[in-house]
Amino acid sequence: MLPPILDLAGQSEPEVFDILHPYFIRDFVDSQTTIGSGIYVDPNSQGLRDGKEEVFWHITTREKKKKVKQGKHFVNIKTRPYDPDRACRIEWIKPMLTNHTHGDIKLFYRKETKGKKPVRLYFWAHQHDFVVIVQKLGESDCYLVTSFYITESYKRSSYDKWYEEYMSGNNEELESCEWF
């Protein structure tokens, strides 16, 4: 179901983004991607940055926090450097969304713990440690929040726990949350 991982070795960061963006355009802009019986995945819901869709940056980079000295003080700054583990799997996102009933995909809803605490839909290719997250946007649309490769084993345990929690039906916050 999932295509081979892209070989991006030896490419500079700007080159990688120029190589990857056409895959994103093909899968989400030039052709409409839908989940289930017609939930449209809107690639432009978050606008553009540096001439590319904001979500493109979320599926090819990873937020890093670091302390930088400014004058006599240290301040925390956030950057989004290239993440090869995410980027090389860009072609996995659409097949995971459109083939979500495949046995390799564990699908579950989860109420977020940060911000406005929306309920998001997770597509987890559990045997490949890759996750795609979408959020509802109106009645028949959603947007791609992010996708990423799970690099820490404790995170895998969290996804197992969240999946089992959803499947058990015992979480009142997730009662009647399904939107497709």
Per-residue pLDDT reduced to its tens digit, 130-177: 999 999 988 889 999 999 999 998 999 999 999 999 999 998 888 888
> How far is the C-alpha of 145 from the C-alpha of 41, rounded, in Å?
10
Residue 112 has pLDDT above 90, yes or no: no
pLDDT for res 109: 96
CA-based torsion, 130, 110, 80, 40: positive or negative: positive
Task: Tell me if 175 is assigned to some domain.
Answer: no
**Which secondary structure element, helix H or strand E, spans residue 99, and what is its range?**
none
Task: Tell me if 5 is assigned to some domain.
Answer: no
Task: Tell me if 54 is assigned to some domain.
Answer: yes
> How far is the C-alpha of 85 from the C-alpha of 151, rounded, in Å?
9
Structural domains counted in the chain? 1
Pair of tokens at residue 21: 């963006």
Task: Tell me if 53 is assigned to some domain.
Answer: yes
> How far is the C-alpha of 36 from the C-alpha of 13, rounded, in Å?
35
Contact 104, 168 (CB under 8 A): no
Task: Tell me if 104 is assigned to some domain.
Answer: yes
Task: Tell me if 1 is assigned to some domain.
Answer: no
Contact 160, 127 (CB under 8 A): no
Containing structural domain, residue 69:
13-169
Task: Tell me if 178 is assigned to some domain.
Answer: no
Task: Tell me if 157 is assigned to some domain.
Answer: yes
List phi, psi (to 5°) of 35. Answer: -110, 140
| Chain segment 2-19, per-residue pLDDT in tens | 999 999 999 999 999 999
